[in-house]
Structure 1
Amino acid sequence: MGEAVEREFFEVLEPASQRIPFVFNSPHSGRSYPQAFLDQSRLDAHSIRRSEDHFVDELFQNATFLGAPLLRAHFPRAFLDVNREPYELDPRMFEGPLPPHANISSMRVAGGLGTVPRLVAENMEIYRGRFPVEEALTRIEAIYKPYHATLRKLIARTHVEFGMSVLIDCHSMPGNVQLPGSGHRPDFIIGDRYGTSAAAELSRTAVSLLEQLGYVVARNKPYAGGFITEHYGRPTRGLHALQIEINRSLYVDEMTLVKKPGFATLTADLTTFIAALAQHVEEYGAYLPLAAE
């Protein structure tokens, strides 16, 4: 059952042997849209893809050659968002009552971006109307929970083997995102939940390495990290979690969703970045838990 679920809904790309204490996760790059879901939607097959982290799994797939596993979703974010609490659900979307443990009042639910989202980018409604609550709960049981169980196992295995673990949660952001209070558009944003999900030294090093590659990099603003970063980052225990957001305009045409010529260059730069960050952790990893802020 477990392996069948993994093959259908997500997969782990494993290195020949794990050589670095890193786990990479791409939860929003899935692009396998169930036909029944498309039939429920008021959006066309192109518009519904606007909330994808387009090709992010491919940008980071060289992590496996460097010795780290990569967990990637096949299911799309518009169908189910695993970067949320398991039951952040909007009762207005469903026929039937939600379970009492559902979080119906979070800011993400209010914004239409719960575990089962109501909207894709630019406030476009996904569904034609309400649908049975059992369908949403089935998605959580059949996909969300196995996905997180797999991620937890990867992190735990890494922590046991190396004495520490660094989770890199891989995402993309729209090309028009601007830094608060300025007109600058960052190429990358490193999120560590304002120092609570990873050692500050690790975050600063990630920013510095990307800047050395010629990119404009910000930290925590406007994206500090989501549920995954917050939930799995415990730096004082040697469990570090960083969220990395990549400006989509660097590598994909956001209207046609076709890769730009710069895709290969960005992939190569990210491979260089991963190798350099892994080297830093190898040299200084024993001190990182003490550096959390």
Structure 2
Amino acid sequence: MMDWLRVERGDAPVIVAFPHGGSDLAGYDAQFVSPWLAQRDADWWIAEVYHFVRDLGVTTVATTISRSVIDCNRDPSGASLYPGAATTELVPTTTFDGEPLYAGALPDADDVAPRRAAYFDPYHAALMAEIARLRAVHPRVVVYDAHSIRSRIPRLFDGQLPQFNIGTNGGTTCAPALTAAIAAPCAASGLGHVVDGRFRGGWTTRHYGRPHDGVHAVQMELAMRGYLAEPDAVTPANWPAPIDPQPAVATTLCSVIAAALSFATSGETP
């Protein structure tokens, strides 16, 4: 196994994927305006937030490579997941806030291809292998794509993002029963949630979600305020902020994963 690709296998019919938790710039540091800027938009501490899932027999697939090197949750064809809305590319050229990432020439097709071959393709090969392994012994498998983002990014969305953002691409990537089961504890938390709001699910959710084939995919985008103290303005001196040892979202996420497990094993909510 490549050292940047981390797969921890379980036998339960749920996979939690972490495509954006890494900050490794893979030797491209000098090409960026600054390493900190290239690492700033990581889904900071996301695997730590979900540390409990391994005790439940859940499989995890994660990359340590920064999304600024290549984004493992973008359409490899280059097509936008959100036509008409601000977003970042397969190989991002700007930050979420629109700041340029590169001091010189932007990556062209000859730059993108080796990054895709080195990181994007192996990450998805590993994810596909885990789906196939679990689907061979379970009638249904849930792929839960775990993300997080700063609560306020005016270029991407208005105002403050809800705490829990559930994406199913308009209900096409999973059964309605799974969406309802995951949304229920989010609603009960009182922290705010939305289904298919600004974040409807990235390429992972849309590509692997095949409910009629027993593979149900859902994306969860967490607002980071639920597990760390977000500063009014992020700077190299204050970002990333440390994870809260008792995050506000912890109890709800335990219920969310329990709901996914219950759906996958019985089709019922816990």
TM-score, normalized by length of structure 2? Answer: 0.86
In the aligned structure 2, how far is the partner of 1:162 from the partner of 1:194? Answer: 25
- Corresponding residue of 2:102: 127
Cα distance in 1 between the residues matched to 2:99 and 2:55: 38
CA pair 223-58 structure 1, distance change in 2 beyond 3 A? same
1:146-185, Cα deviation, whole Å (9 max, x unpaired): 111111111111111111110000111221269xx99674
Which has the higher mean CA deviation after the structures are superposed, 56-65 or 248-257? 248-257
How big is the shift at 1:240?
A: 0.4
Distance, in Å, in 1 between the alignment partners of 2:137 and 2:9 is 15
1:52-91 equivalences in 2 (<5 Å): 52-88=42-78
Q: Distance in 2 between matches of 1:117 and 1:85?
A: 12
Q: What residue is the counterpart of 2:31 in the other structure?
A: 40
For 2:29, the aligned partner's letter is L
Alignment-mate amino acid for residue 154 of structure 1: E
Matches of residues 131-150 of structure 1 in structure 2 within 5 Å? 131=107, 133-150=109-126
In 2, are the aligned partners of 1:193 and 1:230 still within 8 Å (CA)? yes
Q: Distance in 1 between matches of 2:85 and 2:259?
A: 40
8 A contact 2:181–2:256 mirrored in 1: no
Instruction: Considering fraction of residues, name the structure with more helix.
Output: 1
What residue identity is the alignment partner of 1:192? T
Verify the 8 A CA contact 1:252 1:259 in the aligned structure 2. Answer: yes
- The match for 2:7 is 12
Larger CA Rg, structure 1 vs 2:
1
Q: C-alpha distance in 2, partners of 1:116/1:140?
A: 9
Q: CA RMSD in A?
A: 2.8
| Local SS of the residue matching 2:40 | helix
- Contact 1:53–1:173 (8 Å) recurs in 2: yes
Q: Confirm or deny that 1:261 pairs with 2:244.
A: yes
Deviation at residue 239 of structure 1 after TM alignment? 0.9
Quote the residue 1:290 is aligned against: none
TM-aligned CA deviation for residue 249 of structure 1: 1.4
- Correspondence 1:179-190 to 2 at 5 A: 185-190=161-166
Instruction: Please state whether the residue corresponding to 1:125 is helix, strand or coil.
Output: coil
Distance 1:243-1:231 versus aligned 2 partners, 3 A rule: same
Length, aligned pairs only: 260
**Preserved contact between residue 108 and residue 114 of structure 1 (Cα < 8 Å):** no
The one-letter amino acid paired with 1:10 is L
For the 8 Å contact 1:116–1:136, the answer to whether it is kept is: yes
Q: Does the CA contact (< 8 Å) of 2:228 and 2:247 recur in 1?
A: no
Pair 1:200-2:200 in alignment: no
Determine the structure 2 residue equivalent to 1:217. Answer: 193
When residues 182 and 265 of structure 1 are mapped into structure 2, their CA distance, relative to the original with a 3 A threshold, is closer
- Among 276, 282, 291, which residue is 2:265 paired with? 282
Match of 2:40 in 1: 50
Flag structure 2 segments of 5+ consecutive residues without an equivalent: none
Q: Higher mean Cα deviation, 249-258 or 214-223?
A: 249-258
Opposite residue 180 of structure 2, the aligned amino acid is R
Report the CA distance shift for 1:122/1:182 in structure 2 as closer, same or farther (over 3 A).
closer
1:154 aligns with 2:130: yes
Q: Percent identity?
A: 25
**1:263–1:45 distance in 2 versus 1, CA, 3 Å:** farther
- Offset, 1:209: 1.8
- Residue 29 of structure 1 aligns to which amino acid in structure 2? G
Post-superposition Cα deviations, 1:32-56, rounded to whole Å, max 9, x if no partner, equal: 223x3121111x3332222211111
2:254 aligns to what? 271
Change (3 A) 1:177 1:281: farther
Distance 1:237 1:227 in 2: 18
In structure 2, distance between residues paired with 1:107 and 1:170: 19
